[in-house]
């Protein structure tokens, strides 16, 4: 008798606490590290709650960058080209483009008017 693979839904098995994928957890940790100096600055002024809120905001921004995709909006030209891609992939590509010193030239064809 042969063996058969039964298809199953494996989406979400790589998630931690139901919302964090590995990438989102790493980005959120990096956001917390970026917000950590603000926490120390505000804790010296006896405003630790403000420091914790700023750290949470940085972590939320980093989580959003890791998790969400750019929506495809027909009215905005930029989203037509990158719609549906992860935000972090677009940011990485833009950084690589700038680091290489590449430039983008756009030529327009103008019609000549006679008379």
Both 55 and 80 in a single domain?
A: no
Both 44 and 85 in a single domain?
A: no
Q: What is the pLDDT of residues 7-38, one digit of tens each?
A: 666 555 566 666 778 888 889 999 999 999 99
Rounded to the nearest integer, the mean pLDDT of the chain is 81
Decide if 99 is inside a domain. Answer: yes
Decide if 3 is inside a domain. Answer: no
> Distances from the Cα of 84 to the Cαs of 25, 80, 89, in angstroms?
21, 9, 11
Q: Which domain holds residue 24?
A: 15-67
Supply the DSSP symbol for 31.
H
pTM of the model: 0.66
Q: In the prediction, which pLDDT does 99 show? A: 85
Q: In the prediction, which pLDDT does 29 show? A: 92
Count up the domains in the chain and report the number: 2
């Amino acid at each position: 008798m042969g063996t058969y693979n039964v298809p199953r839904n494996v989406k979400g098995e790589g998630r931690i606490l139901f919302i964090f994928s590995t990438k989102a957890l790493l980005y959120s940790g990096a956001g917390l590290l970026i917000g950590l100096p603000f926490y120390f600055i505000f804790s010296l002024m006896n405003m630790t709650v403000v420091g914790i809120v700023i750290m949470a905001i940085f972590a939320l921004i980093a989580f959003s960058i890791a998790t969400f995709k750019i929506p495809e909006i027909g009215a905005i030209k930029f989203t037509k080209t990158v719609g549906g891609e992860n935000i972090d992939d677009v940011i990485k590509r833009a950084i690589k483009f700038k680091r290489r010193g590449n430039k983008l030239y756009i030529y327009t064809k103008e019609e000549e008017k006679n008379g």
